[in-house]
Amino acid sequence: MRGSTVAGMLLVVFGIVVLAVGLRYPHAKQILDVGDVSATVTEHRPVPNWVGGVAVVGGILLIWSGTGGRRRSAP
């Protein structure tokens, strides 16, 4: 199996997880900075659904190109 096929499969799985379950990532935000005192807040933001869709489409294209999906003309 080619590397692009494996990468495509991983992208498809990631995209399906994002679309079906939804993933979150942490985002740190500094809210106070006075002298030696600082305070930060960590928010957990969701990964947008369009990222999952792009991952699925990109994964399918990688799988297609890795398996020789192009038609070859007969000599």
pLDDT of residue 48: 93
Report the mean per-residue pLDDT for the chain: 88
Listing DSSP states for 1-69 in one string gives --HHHHHHHHHHHHHHHHHHT--EEEEEEEEEEETTEEEEEEEEEEPPHHHHHHHHHHHHHHHHHHTT-
Q: What is the pTM of this model?
A: 0.71
More confident residue, 66 or 8: 8
Q: Give pLDDT, residue 46.
A: 93
